[in-house]
């Protein structure tokens, strides 16, 4: 091996990435062997006091990890297709699906384990469990309109809880805020708290900056079914539209029942097929629910978000299914590169 100080940053990173991947690969293979080692009591034949000592000395694996591996393997005994994936996908990923795995959904879950990241898989399982608890039959296939009941709609539209943020203000800034608070209270004839003052300042900033940003990006808000020959609008989403979405969803992920902060503005009609920023087809989503969308697992995706449901399989006849496959491929290449 050449001297480490002779490596470029890129070469050093690639070596770290390669050896790190290999470490995980061999750790997963070792983990897949442990249930059979325990079954045969193989560790006793080779002078180890327990399977924990066996795993610690041969693979530096902790007692807690061994316990979890054996527990997950036990839960997956009735679903061998999933159990075999411990070797390739890792026990911690299989742990996510172990509690809901059955002979009926084994094949479907095996595909999801291969396709999804651990975080996305956890959200998928959670949504699947919630819908099962509601005694709602999840049907695979194409999108179809279905209304949810009033109670679920109320949960989806519930106001998010407050987040407490501590701000260290300069004395001059604090004084100006309090003066503005007094002016606003006097103007409306009722007390105004500092939250309302901050919202008014942010609104004023958005109203001032939105036209500038729109002109700079040369953005057009259009509603066309496909890209035309006059060119594609910028992917920049104007502040005015973001403001509409913030007001509509309360600054939270749009998926029913999710109160996480959004990470992305998701085009329910894919931008490459419908190049516009129509707010009727834009939704703020957290990372995990955005991943579910790009796996084609949101039923009624182009309807209002309160009508969304989890579906087990994507609609492979839809054009956006193939767009999403390319997006996932690009992301995989970027993460591996």
User: Among 46-50, 152-156, 203-207, 229-233, where is mean pLDDT lowest?
Assistant: 152-156
Residue 116 lies in a domain: no
Residues 184, 331 within the same domain:
yes
For the residues 250-274, what does the mean pLDDT come to?
Answer: 90
Residues 332, 183 within the same domain:
yes
Give the domain-ending residue among 98, 117, 138.
98
CA distance to 74, 220, 275, 278, per residue, from 214 (Å): 58, 8, 16, 15
Provide the b/e sequence for 289-302 (b: ≥16 CB within 10 Å): bbbbbbbbbbbbbe
Q: Residue 222: its pLDDT value, please?
A: 39
Tell whether the torsion through CA atoms of 38, 40, 44 and 47 is positive or negative. Answer: negative
Residues 181, 268 within the same domain:
yes
Residues 210, 318 within the same domain:
yes
Over pLDDT 70: what percentage of the chain?
77
Residue 118 lies in a domain: no
Residue 248 lies in a domain: yes
Provide the b/e sequence for 175-195 (b: ≥16 CB within 10 Å): eebeebbeebeeeeeeebeee
Identify the residue with better confidence: 109 or 196: 109
User: Among 72-86, 110-124, 322-336, where is mean pLDDT lowest?
Assistant: 322-336
Residue 31 lies in a domain: yes
Q: Is 336's pLDDT higher than 60?
A: no
Residues 82, 229 within the same domain:
no
For the residues 20-24, what does the mean pLDDT come to?
Answer: 88
Residue 6 lies in a domain: no
Residues 93, 179 within the same domain:
no
Identify the residue with better confidence: 272 or 242: 242
Give the domain-ending residue among 71, 98, 125.
98
At 282 the three-state DSSP class reads strand
Residues 68, 205 within the same domain:
no
Q: What is the pLDDT of residues 142-176, one digit of tens each?
A: 444 444 344 444 433 444 444 566 778 888 888 88
Residue 298 belongs to domain spanning: 171-336
Q: Residue 1: its pLDDT value, please?
A: 53
Q: What is the pLDDT of residues 279-309, one digit of tens each?
A: 999 999 999 999 999 999 999 999 999 999 9
Q: Which two tokens stand for residue 290?
A: 């955005």
Residues 66, 176 within the same domain:
no
Q: Is 216's pLDDT higher than 70?
A: no
Residues 183, 324 within the same domain:
yes
Q: Is 91's pLDDT higher than 60?
A: yes
Residue 328 lies in a domain: yes
Total domain count, the chain: 2
Mean of the per-residue pLDDT values of the chain: 80
Over pLDDT 90: what percentage of the chain?
44
Residue 308 lies in a domain: yes
Residues 175, 94 within the same domain:
no
Residues whose CB falls within 8 Å of the CB of residue 286, separated by 6 or more in sequence, listed in order: 253, 255, 258, 260, 261, 262, 263
Residues 228, 317 within the same domain:
yes
Residue 1 lies in a domain: no
Give the domain-ending residue among 98, 125, 152.
98
Q: Is 231's pLDDT higher than 50?
A: no
Residues 184, 49 within the same domain:
no
């Amino acid at each position: 091996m050449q001297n480490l100080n002779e490596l470029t940053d890129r070469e050093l990173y690639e070596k770290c990435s390669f050896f790190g991947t290999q470490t995980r690969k061999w750790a997963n293979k070792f983990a897949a062997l442990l249930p059979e080692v325990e079954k045969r009591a193989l560790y006793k034949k080779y002078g180890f006091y327990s399977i924990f000592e066996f795993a610690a000395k041969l693979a530096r694996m902790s007692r807690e990890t061994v316990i979890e591996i054996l527990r997950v393997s036990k839960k997956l005994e009735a679903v061998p297709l999933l159990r075999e994936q411990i070797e390739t996908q890792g026990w911690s990923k299989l742990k996510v699906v172990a509690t809901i795995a059955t002979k009926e959904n084994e094949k479907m879950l095996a595909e999801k384990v291969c396709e999804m990241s651990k975080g996305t898989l956890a959200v998928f399982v959670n949504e699947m469990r919630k819908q099962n608890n509601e005694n709602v039959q999840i049907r695979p296939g194409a999108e179809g309109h279905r209304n949810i009941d009033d109670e679920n709609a109320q949960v989806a539209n519930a106001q998010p809880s407050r987040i407490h943020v501590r701000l260290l203000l300069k004395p001059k800034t604090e004084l100006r805020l309090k003066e503005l608070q007094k002016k606003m209270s006097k103007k409306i004839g009722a007390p105004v708290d500092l939250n309302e003052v901050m919202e008014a300042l942010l609104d004023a900033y958005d109203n001032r900056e939105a036209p500038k940003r729109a002109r700079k990006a040369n953005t057009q808000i259009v509603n066309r079914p496909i890209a035309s020959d006059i060119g594609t609008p910028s992917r920049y989403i104007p502040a005015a539209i973001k403001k509409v979405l913030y007001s509509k969803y309360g600054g939270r992920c749009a998926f029913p029942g999710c109160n996480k902060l959004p990470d992305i503005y998701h085009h329910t009609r894919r931008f490459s097929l419908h190049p516009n920023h129509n707010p009727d087809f834009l939704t703020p989503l957290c990372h995990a629910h955005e991943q579910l969308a790009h796996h084609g697992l949101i039923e009624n995706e182009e309807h209002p978000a309160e009508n969304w449901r989890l579906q087990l399989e994507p609609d492979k006849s839809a054009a956006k299914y193939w767009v999403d496959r390319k997006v996932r491929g690009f992301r995989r290449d970027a993460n591996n590169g």
